Chains A and B, each alone.
Chain A
Amino acid sequence: METNLIVEGFKFMGLGMSTVILFLIILIFLMNAMSKILNKYFPEPQASLEPKVGSKPDNKKTIAAISAAVSHHRQG
C-alpha cells in the first residue's frame, strides 16, 4: 500500500482531468448545436429590428448635442 500512493495520485489525475475535459468538450458541442438550432427555429425578432429603430433618434440627439457643444465651445 505504501509504494503505490503516488501511482494512485496519478490514476486520480488521469481519470479526473479526462472527465473534466471530456465534460467540457461535450458541453462545447452542445452549446454550438443549441445556438444553431435556436437561431434557425426560434430567431429573436427584436434582435435585428430594435437596434435600427431605437438607435436612429438617439444618433440624431447625440449629433445635435455634440454640435451644440462644439458651437458653444467655439463661441466661448
Chain B
Amino acid sequence: MKSFIIKLLTILMLFSFSSVIANEHGTSNADALKHKEETYKTQSFSEMVVGFLESTGVNALINPDPDELNSHGEEMSDFHKSWGRVIMVFITFLLFYLAIKKGFEPLLLLPIAFGGLLANIPVADIAGADGFLGVIYSMGLENEMFPIIIFMGVGAMTDFGPLLSNPKTALLGGAAQFGIFGTLVGAVALSQYGIVDFTLQQASAISIIGGADGPTSIFIASKLAPELLGAIAVASYSYMAMVPIIQPPIMRALTTDAERKIKMTTLRHVSRLEKLIFPLLVLVLAILVLPASTPLIGAFMFGNFLKESGVVERLNDTLQNALINTVTIFLGLGVGSKLASDQFLVPDTLAILALGIVAFSVGTAAGVLMAKVMNIFPGNKINPLIGSAGVSAVPMAARVSNKVGMEYDRSNMLLMHAMGPNVAGVIGSAVAAGVLISLFQ
C-alpha cells in the first residue's frame, strides 16, 4: 500500500514536471513564431522582384557588396570580389581541362579545381567559416589531419622491397631533397632583394614543393603558412603531374650515353620478415633522431606495417582504397577552398609557381648527380637515370626513369631499381619536413 502511494506520487510529480517543460517549450515556440512574423514584412510584387535581382550572382559580380568580407573576416578589394572571381572560375576550368584531357593527377586536381570553383561563388560564401568547404577545411586541413590519413594509405600502398634489396640507393632519395633546401635559399634570396616578401616560414613551406610529395607539402603548408596553402598545393600537384615533361630533359642533359645504358644487377629476394621489421626500424630511427618528423613517418609506417603484417587484410584494404579515396575527396575540396580569388590572385602565387618548378628541377638534377658521384666509388654501378626518382612522386618518377632508360636500351628495365630511391625519397622528404618543423618550434 505504502509503495503504491510512493509510486503514484512519483508518477504525478513526473507528469507535472514534464508538463511544465512542455509549457515552456510551447511558449518559446510561440515566441519564435511571433519573431518570424515580425521580421517578414509583406512587400509588393515589384519590391520582391527588385530584392531578388539584387541577390543574384550577376549583380554581386557587377556591383560588389562593400561590406563583404573574405573567409578570414578581412576586407577584400573590389577586384577580388568581381573580376577576380571570374578569372578564378576560368582558372578552375583550365585545371579541369588539364585533369581530364591531359590526365594531370586527376584524382586530386579535379576535387581541388571544383572546390576552387565553389569557393569563388559570391553571396553563398561556401568557403566561409560556416560554408561546407570552410567546415571541411577546419575539419581536416587546419589541424593537418587529412594529409596524415593520406600518408597512412600511401604507406599501405608502398613496397619497400626494392629499397631493402639495394639499400645504398636510399642516398639518391636523400640527395634529391637538395631541391627543397636549394629552393629555400632561392625564396629567401628573392625576399632579400625585395622582389617578393616571404617570411622564413613561408619560404620553407614553398620549398617543400621540391619534395614532390603532395601530402607532405600540404602538411607543412598548413602548419607554417596556411595563407599560401592553395597555391602551394596546386603547384605541388600540377608539377607532380608534369614529372614526365620536366624530368627527362634534365636527365638527358646530365648523363652520357654510356651511363644511360648501365645495366644494374638483378635485385635479390627480400624476406617477409625484413619487410615487416623495416617500418619499425625507420620509425625507431626517426624517434631517436628527429621526433618532429614522426607524425608523417609514423603514419606512413603504420600503413606499411599493417600491409606487411599480412594478418589485417581488411584494414589494409580499407587504407589503400576506401579511406584514402574518401579523404582525397575532402582534401581536394578543402584545398580548393583556398583558391578563393583574394588568396590566389596575388603576386605571391606567381612566385610560388616559379619557385616550385625550380625546386623540382634542382631535386631531379641533385639525384642524378648523386648517382654519378656514387659510381666513382667501387661497387655495383648505378644507372644515373634512377637518381631522378629520388624526388618522391611515387610511382611516376620511377616510371619516367624506366621510360628514359628504355629509349636508349630496350632491354634495360629500370623500374624496380628506380622504386628504391623513389620510396627513399618519401622518407627523405618526411625527414626534411621534420627538420623544418623542428626549426620553427
Residues of A within 8 A of B (CB): 2, 5-6, 8-10, 12-13, 15-17, 19-28, 30-32, 34-35, 38-39, 42, 44, 47
Contacts and interface: CB of A to CB of B under 8 A. Distances in A.
Contacts of A32: 167
Interface string B166-206: 01101101110110111011011101100000001001100
12 contacts: A5-B192, A9-B189, A9-B203, A12-B184, A21-B174, A21-B175, A23-B285, A24-B424, A31-B167, A31-B170, A34-B277, A38-B277
A19 B168 CA distance: 17
A6 B273 CA distance: 46
B274 interface: yes
Contacts of B187: 9
Given A9-B185, A24-B170, A31-B164, A16 B271 contact: no
A35 B188 contact: no
B436 interface: yes
Interface range on chain B (Cβ under 8 Å from partner): 35 or more
Given A8-B200, A44-B273, 17 more contacts: A5-B191, A6-B189, A9-B184, A9-B188, A12-B435, A16-B181, A17-B178, A20-B428, A21-B174, A23-B174, A27-B427, A28-B170, A28-B171, A30-B281, A31-B163, A35-B164, A44-B272
Interface centre among B168, B173, B181, B281 (most CB of A within 10 A): B181
Nearest to B189: A6
B1 interface: no
A27 B189 CA distance: 33
Interface string B47-61: 000000000000000
A15 B428 contact: no
A16 B177 contact: yes
